[in-house]
Structure 1
């Protein structure tokens, strides 16, 4: 059931195109949004990639105006990575389009099922955030 739901979300969100960025570039934007001013090596580690590959991803994002490189205030040799104003606007628009796609499906569900889904998704988000951010183990499972 989980993979089917994930596939359906991909289809829904596919309608809300992520162009002009690839899935990998979108991951970079999400990471930069939550880690303003990180350096290239830290970003590469977060992506599980190499600095040269990550640098090429950043080159493309900088070319479309979605991110900026700035010299570090502590070391002129180090560059810090930031989401640009245009990058923030792009993510806000993408989220709005994705949310619209999901809301159109939710509106077709009975109210009780929507409420149950909301509770389940809140628990899922809390557990995922804990796992991703290393805040400890995911919340205990309930039967």
Structure 2
């Protein structure tokens, strides 16, 4: 049976991982159909605030390599959509911190659920040995990437 990774015996490890990562990106983009109002960049902002938050606007811009005005527009849209909240910590009223709202967490949970179902369908097509090797390899890759 031919596979999408046929011929990787001669390809570099990096090329094989790149090809597999593209398959994961496609599954992620497919899962995003559950949130058609979000662009990929808006989703990146939401995920960054969830993972690293609470964050200040400048921190969002730095994490995603965006200009301050671009980050501000993206965050404003997410705030308007009720996906991100602006909080002012009592210790420093001049600071504005961004956090994911309950609505934003529900959206991310739905997106992850859609993606997980699609990933599980692909994993079900794999042999148990290949599946185990993939899971072990991805865990090691995640650890190495920090």
Q: Is the CA contact (8 Å cut-off) linking 1:13 and 1:101 kept in structure 2?
A: no
TM-score of the aligned structures, taking structure 1 as reference length: 0.83
Report the CA distance between 1:93 and its aligned residue.
0.9
2:3 alignment partner in structure 1: none
Report the CA distance between 1:28 and its aligned residue.
1.1
Report the CA distance between 1:117 and its aligned residue.
0.7
2:9 alignment partner in structure 1: none
Report the CA distance between 1:52 and its aligned residue.
1.5
CA distance in structure 1 between the aligned counterparts of 2:47 and 2:29, rounded to whole angstroms: 18
Which runs of no fewer than 5 residues in structure 1 stay unpaired?
131-143
CA distance in structure 1 between the aligned counterparts of 2:28 and 2:138, rounded to whole angstroms: 17
CA distance in structure 2 between the aligned counterparts of 1:78 and 1:4, rounded to whole angstroms: 42
Q: Is 1:5 aligned to residue 20 of structure 2?
A: yes
2:81 alignment partner in structure 1: 64
Report the CA distance between 1:103 and its aligned residue.
0.6
Q: What secondary structure sits across from 1:30 in the alignment?
A: helix
Q: Is 1:110 aligned to residue 127 of structure 2?
A: yes
Q: What secondary structure sits across from 1:38 in the alignment?
A: coil
Q: Is the CA contact (8 Å cut-off) linking 2:83 and 2:101 kept in structure 1?
A: yes
Instruction: List structure 1 runs of 4+ shifted beyond 6 angstroms.
Output: none
TM-score of the aligned structures, taking structure 2 as reference length: 0.81
